[in-house]
Structure 1
Amino acid sequence: MGDATVVDFATLDRMVRNAPFHAWLGVSLKSVSDEGVEIALPWREEFVSDPNVRYTHGGILAALIDLAGDYAVAARLGRGVPTIDMRVDYHRTALPGPLVAKARVIKMGGTLATAEAEIHDENGKLVASGRGVYLTLAR
């Protein structure tokens, strides 16, 4: 298991969009390289947590951190992987607008992989960051 991606953009984008939850979110692959992945999340009114302030629910941000980390690992394995553990830090409210998650693999192992991700708003401001541990052991 090296540091290089083993799937092309079109294949990984199909993998990202394939799950019904991902389709509901509206996520798509923005880029993939040996350095990591970028996943775009368009704005949806259903993401609102507080109708008065209209900020994005933290669960949506956590899901985006998780799936960006997962697909950074998947780009190297050619398959999705289950999440073992995850942590998220919320840095500012995510107001209505598209978001981009950038993720990279920190450690790739035969049993576990660790990836980190950052979410930025449309102005490039850091909204949330996190780290996940994923099971890489072949099923």
Structure 2
Amino acid sequence: MTHSTLIDQLSAFMNERIPFQKYLGIKVTKFDGQESEVRFQWKDELVGNAPMQILHGGATATALDTAGGVVIMASVIERMEKNLSAEEIVERMARCGTIDLRVDYVRPGRGNEFITTATIIRSGSRVAVARMEMHNEDGMLIAFGTGTYIVG
């Protein structure tokens, strides 16, 4: 199985099989070891401040964490030996997880679409760090964050 095939399969899995992300409407739109992107549309169920119609901070944090996790997993996949079995790859991906997530909320979450990108800051054999940003469809920065992930 090629790395690009595996990345495509993981992207489809994340879009369709993770219930919380599916509920929020988060879709992986770029799954790459250098930069990832996830997007979701505004919906009333995601309101955190009803009088002001502002996105819930938990939805923002989830989008940032998802984008960070995606870029980290893609980076791990790109560094894997090509002769690993599907079971070994799944086992390695299952061990990836968030250790720490820092979110800075810059502006109220307003918009019709939210785009979250992530890049790698450091990727080691056991721990990796990503930087994430969330913008609305007009390019307004809503929040940014840093995520630390276990990868080994």
Q: TM-score range by the shorter chain?
A: 0.7 to 0.9
Give 2:139's match in structure 1, choosing from 120, 124, 127.
124
Distance 2:30 2:64 in 1: 16
1:12 maps to what in 2?
Answer: 10
Contact 1:54–1:96 (CA<8 Å) still a contact in 2? no
How far residue 94 of structure 1 moved from its aligned partner, in angstroms, is: 0.9
Pick the structure with greater CA Rg. Answer: 2
Q: Give the stretch that moved more between structures: 124-133 or 93-102.
A: 93-102
How far residue 120 of structure 1 moved from its aligned partner, in angstroms, is: 0.4
1:85 maps to what in 2?
Answer: 100
TM (normalized to structure 1)? 0.87
How far residue 15 of structure 1 moved from its aligned partner, in angstroms, is: 3.2
The CA RMSD over aligned residues, in Å, is: 1.5
Letter in 2 for 1:113: A
Distance 2:127 2:4 in 1: 19
2:110 maps to what in 1?
Answer: 95
Structure 1 gap ranges (5+): 1-5
- Report SS of the residue matched to 1:123: coil
Distance 2:97 2:49 in 1: 31
Contact 1:42–1:97 (CA<8 Å) still a contact in 2? yes
Q: Give the stretch that moved more between structures: 15-24 or 111-120.
A: 15-24
TM (normalized to structure 2)? 0.80
Structure 2 gap ranges (5+): 78-92
Whether 1:134 aligns to 2:132 is no
Contact 1:7–1:76 (CA<8 Å) still a contact in 2? no
Q: 1:102 to 1:13 in 2, by over 3 A?
A: same
Give the number of equivalent residue pairs: 132
Distance 1:111 1:89 in 2: 25
Q: Give the stretch that moved more between structures: 71-80 or 96-105.
A: 71-80
Give me the identity figure in percent. 30
Alignment of 1:42-121 (within 5 A): 42-78=41-77, 79=93, 81-121=96-136
1:38 maps to what in 2?
Answer: 37
Distance 2:69 2:114 in 1: 17
Q: Which of the two has greater helix per residue? A: 2
2:28 maps to what in 1?
Answer: 29
Q: Which runs of 4+ in 1 moved over 4 A?
A: none
